[in-house]
Each structure stands twice: as C-alpha cells, then as structure tokens.
Amino acid sequence: MTALRRFGLLVPAMAISLSGCGLNSVPTAEEQVNASWGNLQSEYQRRADLVPNLVNTVKGYAQQERTVLTDVTNARAKASSIQLNASDLSDPAKVKAFQDAQNQLGGSLGRLLATFEAYPDLKSNQNFLTLQAQLEGTENSILVARRDYNESVRQYNTRIRTFPDAIGAKVFYGAKPKVPFEASAAAQTAPKVDFNTAG
C-alpha cells in the first residue's frame, strides 16, 4: 500500500473521529445558550420598561407610599445599570451580581403591587390594571425564559464535560462551564405589607 493511499484512508478516518469530538456540537450548544440568554434579557428589558409607567400611574393615588415607589425606581436603575454579555456567562460573580439586581427589582415590584391592593380607586384604574396584567405576564415570561436558559446551560455544560465532546471543547475552544440562574433565598417568602402603620 502506497503512502498516498494510506494518507487517503487516514484523512476520512481523522475527519470522522474529529466530528465526534465536539467540533460542531460544542459551538451549536453554546449558540443555544446565547440565544436563550438573549431571550431572557429581552424579558428583563420588558419588565424594566414597564416599571416607570407603573410607578407614574401609582403616584397619583398613593402619595404616602413614597418609600415603596423610591425602592422600585432605585431597583430598576440598579438592574438596568448591570450589564451581562454572553461572554460573561462563565463568570459566576458577574452572573450573581446581575441576578441579585434582577431579584431586588422583582422583590420591589412584588411589594409595590401588594401595597397597592389597599387602594380601591387604584385597583379600579384601567391603566393600573393593564400595567399590572402586563407585568404579571412579563414575570411569567421571565420564569419561562430563565428555565429555558438554565436548560440550555445544562445541555452545554454536560456536552463540554462528557466524552467525546469534552476533547474538542477543551482543545479547540477552551470551553468553560456557563453559570445557571438560581432562585434567590427571598423567592420563597411573600412580600409582607402592614396597612396598620402610618404612611
């Protein structure tokens, strides 16, 4: 068998063996993580966009609830100021800072909505009801997007850690695990509102 013929047989064998080493599957899985992350960012942005309208609608009805309104406004500003790019999804500290800011905004919004259950005029205001419904829908969309993102991260992390894709993931891409979102400790506790205290 000539050297050229051996080389001709070796090239397809190498191509087949490399195709099983994550050359295509690792970037595909990473792109799925990035797409899921983009969807989640979109839902967080929608929530941030709804907050000013909700706060302005509420202001006219409940001047004494300034602290709650200020908390929501400040939490929105903080959540909007922390940016997390797809390239940061392997950095646990950056993911945690982003997640903490989003959790703070979610908690503030929960307190805002719970507080204003005590205002019958506000509860019957069509603008408030529309914004409240949009916000509730957005919160549900965020939950779905977070679940989809976490599933993409699970699949990606599994792929880059299991044979044979782990070979290509490390050798060709230097792949690092992505960080999933976790529920905050406060997520298990409903907002507490006391209507007996002075405003």
pLDDT per residue as tens digits for the range 71-86? 889 999 999 999 889 8
Which residue is listed with tokens 């940016």? 83
Indicate if the pLDDT at residue 110 is higher than 90.
no
Q: How far is CA 136 from CA 27, 82, 116, 140, 177, in A?
A: 35, 23, 15, 6, 32
The string of pLDDT tens digits covering residues 29-44 is 999 999 999 999 999 9
CATH code that applies to domain 42-183: 1.20.1440.20
Mean pLDDT check: name the lowest of 17-21, 51-55, 115-119, 194-198.
194-198
Q: Give me the pLDDT at residue 193, please.
A: 39
Binned at pLDDT 50, 70 and 90, residue 5 comes out as: low
Cα–Cα distance measured from residue 170 to residue 62, given in angstroms and rounded to the nearest whole number: 57
Full-model pTM: 0.73
